[in-house]
Amino acid sequence: MLTRNYLFIFFFLFLAVSLEPNSSKILSETMGNSSSMLTQYDIEEVQQHCQRLFSQQEIVSLYERFCQLDRNAKGFISADEFLSVPEFAMNPLSQRLLKMVDGLNFKDFVAFLSAFSAKASVQMKIKLIFKVYDSDGNGKVSFNDILEVLRDLSGSFISDNQREQVLTQLLKEAGYSKDSYLTLDDFIKVLGSPGLKMEVEVPVD
């Protein structure tokens, strides 16, 4: 009889542990296994990895966001989960960005976003833009690479011919030809004005 009462009590307490939202936090802290939380050491490691472009508070906020998007705590965010954010899915360059962020772990996720920090240099931002254009990663952006990005941006509202014409003309005016390959230095030359704004604010509560 006594053991049956104990069984009932254990059953109810087990229910409590599974239903109470705070119990998992307390359990993981008491058992010393805080895999769902960031330690100070983790935060500093991530900060080091992103060249200190985010403050520690911002990294904690980004971690909350990362866990929110990564639904089954796999340690990375899948392409499907990124596309479940409608604002991201509607962006014309979403597929290109997906190739760069799909499957990143938290450290690399923060490193990717660090180009959008207010403290990042203009060169870092242009480097990211270059990477978006240089989809095969060979360090050179060809005429066709630029055409493809233009196609993503303008869709069916400009004809292919018109796009080629406009691009050839603008390249000529800037001193390049249709067959020239643009390197990162060329991009810095063309885009490197101090007015280049590419910043995202991380909400910190």
Is there binding between residue 187 and another protein (CB under 8 A)?
A: yes
Shortest Cβ distance from residue 5 to another protein (Å)? Answer: 11
Secondary structure of the chain in the HEC alphabet?
A: CHHHHHHHHHHHHHHHHHHCCCHHHHHHHHCCCCCCCCCHHHHHHHHHHCCCCCCHHHHHHHHHHHHHHCCCCCCCCCHHHHHCCHHHHCCCCHHHHHHHHCCCCHHHHHHHHHHHCCCCCHHHHHHHHHHHHCCCCCCCECHHHHHHHHHHHHHHHCCHHHHHHHHHHHHHHCCCCCCCCECHHHHHHHHCCCCCCCCCCCCCC
Site for another protein in 95-134 (CB under 8 A): 97, 101, 113, 116, 125, 128-129, 132-133
Q: Does 204 bind another protein (CB under 8 A)?
A: no
Residue 44 CB, nearest distance to another protein (Å)? 21
Binding-site member from 7, 25, 27, 119 for another protein (CB under 8 A) = 25
CB of 123 to another protein, least distance (A): 13
Q: Is 173 in the site for another protein (CB under 8 A)?
A: yes
53 binds another protein (CB under 8 A): no
The closest alpha carbon to 141, from 132, 154, 153, 150, belongs to 132
- Contact status: 178 vs another protein (CB under 8 A): no
Cα separation, 89 vs 159, whole angstroms: 24
Footprint of another protein on 132-161 (CB under 8 A):
132-133, 146, 149-150, 153-158
Determine the size of the site formed for another protein (CB under 8 A).
Answer: 70
The binding site for another protein (CB under 8 A) comprises 9, 12-13, 15-16, 19-23, 25-26, 29, 62, 65, 68-69, 71, 80, 82-94, 97, 101, 113, 116, 125, 128-129, 132-133, 146, 149-150, 153-158, 162, 166-167, 170-171, 173-174, 176, 187, 190-191, 193, 196-203
